[in-house]
Structure 1
C-alpha cells in the first residue's frame, strides 16, 4: 500500500519551501524515519523523513519546485522491497563511450544537491573521490572546494618532448587561433539566498546606516589563549577561540550602552535587559545566524560551547528555526575568510552589528615607542535613527578596553 509523504510543518509563519534535493530515488529501499528529501526554507534546510519502511515510489515534485505545507512530495510503498540487483556481467565501456571525467555521473550525480553539483563542475573534480563531511557523509560545497585546492597540478611536459614538427604546427594553426570555448550556467537562487538578498536590501532601505571603526591590540587575548588553550579544552571539551572573548566583552558594552542593544518598533524604542547575540555561521547553502540566548549570563566557556555546537549543526543542516529567531545584536567574523575591513549590514529589527576582521602585525606607537603588535580592525554598523555617533564610539572603546585587558571581563569592569 502506498503511503503519501507530505511537506511537514516548517515553523511559525512559514507556509512554503523549495525542494532542495531528493535523497532517495524511485525504487530505493527506505527505512522508517530515514530522510528522503531536503527542503530549503527561508532560514535552514529541513530533511523530510519517510513515515514508513518500504520502497520509494514516484516523486510528485521536482528539485527547485516550491511546495506548500501539507502538500504531497512522494509516495512510499509500505512493506515493499527494492528490486534485486542482477549479477549479470555488464558490457564493457569503450573509451569513446566513457563519460567525461569533469562531470558527475550516474548515482553520484543523483546524490548531489544542485549547489554541490555546480561546484563539482566548476572545479573539475571527481565527486566519487571526495569524502563528504555533511550529514550521512554527503558532500558539501566546502568539501568540493577543499578537494579542488588539494588537487595536484599536472607537471609541465618538457619542451623537447612536446614540440610539434613544422608540418604539424602549420596544420594546427587555425585551431590554435580559434577563440576558447566559453560557458554560462543559469541556476535559480535558493530560497535562503533570496531571503538574505531581500532582508539586506530592506535594511539598507529602512535604516539610516552608518559605520564607525576602531582597532584593537590582540596581544593580551592571544597570550591568554596560548597559555590556557590546552587546559581549557581538557576541562570544557571545546577549543578556546577569540569569539568567546568578543561575545562576552560585547555583552558588557551593551549593558553600558543600552541603545546599541535596542530596536525600533513603529514610533517606540524597545530596550532589552538581556543580550541575545546573533553569530554568523557558515553553512553549505550560505551564512545562517543562530542566536546565543542570554549571553550575558554565560561564561566564555559556555559561549564557546554554544558557538561550536552551532557550527557543527549548521554544517549538517540540523539547526532549528527557533534557534535563528530573535537576537538583539549581531557579531560577524569576516576575519576567518581573510577580510581586513568591511562595513557589515545590520540584521533587522536589530540596530547594530559588529564586524570582526583578520589579525595582522602592524607598527603602532606604545609609550612613545614604535612596536609591532597583532592588530584587528573593528567595525560597528548601526542605525543612526536610534544610535548616535557618541554612543557608537563609546561602545567600541568599551569593547576595545575589555579585549586589550581581559581581566576586565573577569571582574566585570
Structure 2
C-alpha cells in the first residue's frame, strides 16, 4: 500500500511516479542480494543521477532539479521504503554537496553538475572517534604550509568512506573549539588520503561505512570551503538539512515495514480467519500506520518551513527524533506481526528492524536531538 501523497505540482507528482517505477524495476530486484553480500551499489547512484534524482534540492542552473525540499524528501522516502542503504546514501550525498553549493567558490561550484548528475559521489567527513556528538572536539588538523595546508588525522564512521569521489572534510586550522575549524573540498584519491577497513554493521550493509586516514594530505587554499575558521558553522548548517533527509529515510523504512506487515496479515490465516481481522493485531497495525503518518507530517512541516525561508533547526531535530523513533517501533512491530517468519531472513522485516536502529544514532543521536530542541526552547 504505497503512501498517499498530496504533491504541490503536477511535475512533482510525476517525479514520485518516476521514482516508484525506478525503485520497482531497478532497486527491488537487487536489494536482498546486495545487502546479504555487503555489496556497495555504486551503479545505482549513477542510475539515480541520470534520472535526475540526485540533485532534486538544488537549482537547475547548477545541474539540479530545482525542486522544493518537501518534494526531494518524499522522493527519498520512496527509495527508503525499498532500499534504506541507497536512501541514506542519497541523503549523505546531498548533504556533502551542500557546503559546495552554499559556501563554495565559483570554481568549486563548477563541479556541481557532475556531483548532482551522479558522476561524482560524495562523503561527509566530520565525525572522529572521540568527536561524534561533540563535533567541535575534532582533532584532525590542517596546518598552514605556504599557500595551502597539510592535513593529518583520522575520521570515523564515514558513509561512502573509500567509495566517494569527493569529501566535504572538516579539520582544525586554529585553536580548540568550534571557531578553530575549517571546511575543505577533497578529492577521493588525493595522495595521503586512504580508507580503513569498512565497519561490520548490523544493518545498512549495502552502505559502506569506513574510517578515513589523512597522512600529510596537501590541499591548496582553493580547496577551502568558505572562510578559514567558519567550518563549524558550515557543518551545522548542512546538518539541519541532513537531519530532514534521515527523517525521510526513516519514514520510508517504516512505510516499507508497514506495507509488508499489512500484506502478510491479509494473507495469513489462523483459527479460520485472516489474522488482520483479529482486534489485537488490527490495533497493532493501526498504531503502526498512525506512527508512520504522524512522522511523515512532522518532517514535511519542517521541510515546508525550510522552503519558505523560515527557521527550521528545531523542527528538523524534532522530525529526526520522531521519525527515527517511529521507525524503530514500527519495524519491531512488523517482526511481531509476522511472528516466527518475521525473525527469519526469508522476509525483509528483520532487515528493516536492524536498519532502523542506526537511524536513531547518526546525524546526531536522538539524545542530542533532545538537547538541541531543549536549548532552542530555552532561547525562544
Band of TM-score, shorter chain: under 0.3
| TM-score when normalising by structure 1 | 0.22
- Normalised to the residue count of structure 2, the TM-score between the two structures is 0.23
Larger radius of gyration: 1
The structure that is helix-richer by fraction is 2
